[in-house]
Structure 1
Amino acid sequence: MSRRIALSVAAGAVVLGGAGAFALVYAGEQPPALATSTARYTAPDGDRDGSLTFTTDVTASSDVKSVKVLAWPANSSFAKKGLTANDMAAAESAVCKPSGGDTERCTYKVTISRAEADESPRGLWHVAVLTTTEDGDTTLDTKTADFTVV
């Protein structure tokens, strides 16, 4: 009886060990993840230009190749049809710097002139982000952060 228990324990250890190895391999192939995303909009004031600053932390199993950023009004056509990776092709890139481990801090900043602000729709805006790693894994988050244009 003890021999049968020993074989069962050994077989169970092999199965669990294999499952653990699979979990580690699977975890290493996860798409890039975004965290701590913030958007800060400052309207132009007098002769001073305004700005939009967006930051996010990207964690990925391989190096980050690109982070594309697109700010879009909540009442635009994207709200109805949905934003796709193809829509992000012409978006501008954030600048990313290592911030420890598999994480990079990415920042996108754009200056907004008085004329641009006057032409922009008022209300809620979303920030969409398309992240691509060197391995080709991608993540599209169409509402990573929000800000309001008043």
Structure 2
Amino acid sequence: MSMPVSKRAVLSSLACVVATGGIIAGGLAASTASAATGATLTHGSTRYVAPTDSRAGSFTYAVDVNDDSGVRSLKVVAWPASSALVPTKADLRHAESATCERTSHDTSHCTYALKVTKKQAADLAKGTWYVSALATAKDGDTKFVSMAARFVVAG
């Protein structure tokens, strides 16, 4: 059974990321589709900056999304591998949207960013984390990548 992924759930999940106190980088795990018509995700990366007493931390996932009709949107959620949460394509339709800037007729560079407070960070899980992504093209094509990126929250 799938459940919508709320902003609150994402923030709760990402609070664990903040607790690490460093930068965590990951790469795009898998994102291929048919060459001419399906949406693709390439050059993906994650970045985490821990909060300090004077400023919030942040979590960022950036990726290039390509489709021959152009890119309509990218929905993103980060989640700890240790949780029971395994987002589905249906779940991501209700997730937060990345900001996408067109870089060519068929490609957009999309960035998903969250601010994370020290209080939020105190509640999060350590270990492996994943980013799930759902790209939607202007012609309605979609590409769901359940594990678009992976990173580790150190304990």
Q: TM-score if structure 2 supplies the norm length?
A: 0.72
**Counterpart among 72, 84, 87 of residue 83 in structure 1:** 87
SS class of match (1:115): helix
Q: Say yes or no: does 1:39 pair with 2:46.
A: yes
Task: Give the deviation of 1:108 after TM superposition.
Answer: 0.8
1:100 is aligned, of 85, 104, 112, to 104
- Percent of aligned positions with the same letter in both sequences? 39
Letter in 1 for 2:79: W
Structure 2 residue aligned with 1:129: 133
Aligned position for 1:149: 153
Which portions of structure 1, spanning 4 or more consecutive aligned residues, are displaced by more than 3 angstroms? Answer: none
Between 1 and 2, higher relative CO (CA 8 Å, sep ≥ 6) is seen in 2
Gaps in structure 2 of 5+ consecutive residues: 1-33
TM value normalised by structure 1: 0.74
Contact between 2:39 and 2:143, CA under 8 Å: does it hold in 1? Answer: yes
Once the two structures are overlaid, the 10-residue window that deviates more, 82-91 or 57-66, is 82-91
Partner of 1:16: none
1:112 corresponds in structure 2 to 116
CA shift for structure 1 position 101: 4.3
Query: Deviation digits for residues 83-137 of structure 1, max 9, x if unmatched?
Result: 3111112211011112234211101111001111111111211111000112111
In structure 1, runs of 5+ residues without a counterpart are 1-25
CA distance in 2: counterparts of 1:71 and 1:54, whole angstroms: 9
Count, aligned residues: 121
Alignment of 1:25-64 (within 5 A): 27-28=35-36, 30-64=37-71
Q: Which has the larger radius of gyration?
A: 1
Q: Distance in 2 between matches of 1:37 and 1:27?
A: 18
